[in-house]
A and B are shown apart, each in its own frame.
Chain A
């Protein structure tokens, strides 16, 4: 049973870290209608910032600051935020699929920069030895992971509470107004460009936070952690869970990551070993099928957007 508990703790850590990135994307797509197809790029910025700020000194590579974990998290958010301001100013005039293509290109560019700027990122060798704070506070893998899960839960809780507060505020209502009809919003004296940029930057900062938590947990970062498939996974989580609903975003992360990993487990158990080498293809089919079926049954996601006129209106 200890094995099962240990695995579940591990599973929750990874899926909740993904969940944080999904929350960031939800602010952008769910509430503001920004098609950001560059999620992996912004998690990468956060991840590398964390690695550089908290990691040990290395030959010929920037680093050795060994700053505390929390400073790393804040730094990661700031760096992703700065990246998002630059990207946002350049691209947010584009709408819908044009924005998607532009941000996708930017994510690929960021990944290639990570691959090639060796002084900053260690290039293809990546950065090793990134400290995990739970290793200093607890003994044994289960206790350490449980502690890290607690850290992740606190971060998820804070992010979730802040986002819930934000989207219910006047600013949050403005996001939805711009999502639905930005000309109407502009006619009321709102500035859609500015608000879109704000939502984009805030969402990307949350993605950076997710990347930072990931590298600190794994202890290693390389450009291979931020391939475009990661963006696809985060998007799937949001769509399956239900966009424009923060609960849906977190639920989607748990379910999609669960399907992704469980399908591998099930195949290793039920497929005879002689044909297991072909099992990878079966796993991909299984993942695809479950996602398609979910979307056919629940096209708005498992928990869709809650429709209401105003939270102050009495029904």
Chain B
């Protein structure tokens, strides 16, 4: 019986398909493919809600070209085949011209190669960090349809290495999560630290969701490191840190921005983390960021701490602004106009309903704009990657305090120096 109800509901839903395939029709649909269940479910759910929040704010400002925006969310379950099917269904059945997502690169990349590029639909990810995207774009195989608002590993490893060397550490152990994200970041870190005059005592990869990491920690403790660079996510990161400290490891910790989370600090105990330092890409000191944080707190009653929240807000807003700038909402127009609304010499506009309303006025007057959003001023390079300003932070008691700031230009300079 249930199956029959399911099919009946599906059939009823299918009737609506034909009418939504045209770009000019209301509402304008924006597809999102995010892992709201499965291993990344908790992270994905908050990202999905923040994406919806960005759409709501755009609708408060009058929507796209006078139409309300409908946010159509599909779950990837963290599985590539499910994500690919969801994306294809959004493109073919819902007629979306832009996709937000996915979170893990292992899902985003199949979606890009088998759905977005062949169907000429723009795909903007909040969170996928793999270097494979840059490689694919360099080969011309993304055809410009790929963007990400998540600053690539390149700048993260650079600032991590700089922070380590500036803190006077000479012999650093590296423990990193064995995913495309962790491996890419750790390898770059190894190169960068050598360039800056530091050295690595050991590189240890760990696989996710284990009960204990004693073996990995023991291996990393060999060679008497004076500091630990940790690339991990909160739950496993806390396990590793506890075991590291318990086995006599130094408390000179440098952690990746994925560990800038209260869950991690509380799980380890902030009193043990008073020599912890970290960096983050998403919190530049700009009014646009503060105003996003305030709006987010007003809406969700909690600060936007967590991976991907700032970057998904900007991903959605940039796509919707690009749609606004397009007379006819097609993937090609969105792709081209994303450049127009993030133009370095454009007039600056900010997040929130008022900022968006102003952006729409400027676009209607035929002006180019520069969206300065929740992650700061976005500027996509030719591969669709962004660089973001960086900040460094430490724990002081329970408080997460900022200790330094590098603007986008300074980050670019650092990377240039490291790459030469």
Spell out A's residues near B (CB within 8 Å).
1, 3-4, 6-7, 10-11, 14, 112, 115-116, 123-126, 128-129, 141, 144, 214, 217-220, 222-225, 227, 229-230, 259-270, 273-274, 276-281, 283-284, 286, 289-290, 293-294
**Closest B residue to A283 using CB positions:** B75
Question: How far in angstroms is the closest Cβ of chain A from B224?
Answer: 27
Q: Is B104 touching A218 in the complex (CB atoms < 8 A)?
A: no
> 1/0 contact trace for B107-128 toward A, CB 8 Å?
1011001100011000000000
Do A7 and B36 contact each other (CB < 8 Å), given the known contacts A14-B85, A264-B75? no
Separation in Å of the A253 CB from the closest CB of chain B? Answer: 12
- Interface assignment of B1: CB less than 8 Å from any CB of chain A: yes
Which A residues lie within 8 Å of B104 (CB)? 224
Chain A nearest CB, measured from B18 CB (Å): 7
Known contacts A3-B91, A261-B86, A280-B37; can you find 17 more A-B pairs with CB under 8 A? A3-B21, A4-B14, A4-B93, A10-B92, A11-B88, A124-B184, A125-B130, A126-B132, A128-B113, A129-B139, A144-B118, A265-B10, A266-B13, A268-B72, A277-B52, A280-B36, A280-B45
Point out the residues of chain B lying under 8 angstroms from A218, CB to CB: 80, 84, 110, 113-114
A-B contact count (CB 8 A): 181
Closest to B104 in A: A224
Residue from B2, B119, B132 within 8 A of A141 (CB atoms): B119
Give A289 to B89 CA distance when docked, in angstroms: 23
* Residue tally, chain B, CB below 8 Å to A: 72
Which residues of chain A are near B82, meaning CB under 8 Å? Answer: 260-261, 264
On whether the beta carbons of A220 and B113 are closer than 8 Å, the reply is: yes
Cβ-defined contact, B13 with A270, below 8 A: yes
Looking at A14, A268, A270, which has the most chain B CB atoms within 10 Å of its CB? A268
Q: Is the CB of B92 within 8 A of A4?
A: yes
What is the bound-complex CA distance between A284 and B37, given in angstroms?
8
B71 at the interface (CB under 8 A from A): yes
Q: Contact between B136 and A128 (Cβ–Cβ < 8 Å)?
A: yes
Q: Which of B199-228 contact A (CB under 8 A)?
A: 205, 207
Q: Are B109 and A126 in contact (CB-based, < 8 A)? A: yes
Cβ-defined contact, B89 with A265, below 8 A: yes
Please tell me if the beta carbons of B75 and A280 are within 8 angstroms of each other in the complex.
Answer: yes
Binary interface profile of B, 1-43, with partner A (CB < 8 Å = 1, else 0)? Answer: 1110011011001101110010000000000000111100100
- Checking B2, B35, B37, B178 against A293 with a beta-carbon cut-off of 8 angstroms, the contacting residue is B2
B180 at the A interface (CB under 8 A) = yes
Is A273 touching B71 in the complex (CB atoms < 8 A)?
A: yes
Q: Which interface residue of A11, A14, A224 has the most chain B CB atoms within 10 A?
A: A224
Q: Determine how close the nearest CB of chain A comes to the CB of B417; give it in whole angstroms.
A: 24
Q: Complex: how many Å from CA A283 to CA B235?
A: 26
User: Which residue in B48, B81, B113 is a CB contact (below 8 Å) of A277?
Assistant: B48
With A276-B48, A279-B75, A280-B41 in contact, is A129–B93 under 8 Å at CB? no
The 8 A-B residue pairs whose C-beta atoms are closest, nearest first, are A280-B37, A224-B106, A280-B36, A7-B92, A124-B180, A269-B13, A141-B118, A219-B113
Whether B70 and A126, one on each chain, are in contact in the complex, defined by CB atoms closer than 8 angstroms, is no
| B residues adjacent to A (C-beta < 8 A) | 1-3, 6-7, 9-10, 13-14, 16-18, 21, 35-38, 41, 44-46, 48-49, 52, 70-75, 77-82, 84-86, 88-89, 91-95, 104-107, 109-110, 113-114, 118-119, 130-132, 135-136, 139, 141, 178-184, 205, 207
Which of A144, A227, A259, A289 interacts with B79 by CB under 8 Å? Answer: A227
Q: With contacts A218-B110, A273-B73, A294-B3 known, is A6 near B180, CB below 8 A?
A: no
**Which residue on A lies nearest to B37, using beta carbons?**
A280
Q: Of the candidates A7, A11, A223, A279, which one forms a contact with B73 in the assembled complex, judged by CB atoms under 8 Å apart?
A: A279
| Chain A residues closer than 8 Å to B135, beta-carbon distance | 128
Partner of A290, one of B6, B44, B93, B105: B6
Distance of A224 Cα from B45 Cα, bound (Å): 20
**What residues of chain B lie closer than 8 Å to A4, measured between beta carbons?**
14, 17, 92-93
A1 neighbours in B (Cβ, 8 Å): 18
Minimum CB–CB distance from A307 to chain B (whole Å) comes to 26
- Tell me, in angstroms, the Cα distance from A144 to B115 when the chains sit together: 12
Query: How far, in whole Å, are A10 and B109 apart by their CA atoms in the complex?
Result: 17
B89 vs chain A, min Cβ distance (A) = 6
Q: Nearest chain-A residue to B119 (Cβ)?
A: A141
How far, in Å, is A171 (CB) from chain B's closest CB? 33
User: In the assembly, what is the distance between CA of A266 and CA of B35, in Å?
Assistant: 17
Residues of A with C-beta under 8 A to B180: 123-126, 222
A214 closest partner in B (C-beta): B81
Listed A/B pairs (16) with beta-carbon separation below 8 Å: A3-B91, A7-B88, A14-B81, A125-B131, A126-B109, A126-B132, A214-B81, A218-B110, A220-B132, A261-B82, A263-B6, A269-B9, A281-B36, A281-B37, A290-B2, A293-B1
The minimal Cβ–Cβ distance linking A265 to chain B, given in whole angstroms, is: 6
Instruction: Point out which of A1, A261, A286 has the most chain B C-beta atoms below 10 A from its C-beta.
Output: A261
- The interface residues of chain B lying within 8 Å CB-to-CB of A274 are 52
Chain B neighbourhood of A267, CB < 8 A: 75
Bound form: Cα–Cα A229–B3 in Å? 22
From residue B184, how far is it (CB to closest CB) to chain A in Å? Answer: 7
A219: chain B residues within 8 A (beta carbon):
110, 113-114
In the complex, the answer to whether A264 meets B10 with C-beta atoms within 8 Å is no
Contact B93 A3 (CB under 8 A): yes
Determine how close the nearest CB of chain B comes to the CB of A84; give it in whole angstroms: 23
Cβ-defined contact, A229 with B79, below 8 A: yes
B90 to chain A, nearest CB (A): 8
Given the interface pairs A125-B130, A141-B119, A217-B114, the reply to whether A280 lies near B6 with Cβ below 8 Å is: no
In the assembled complex, the CB of A90 is this many whole angstroms from the nearest CB of chain B, namely: 23
Please determine whether B95 and A264 come into contact, CB atoms closer than 8 angstroms: no
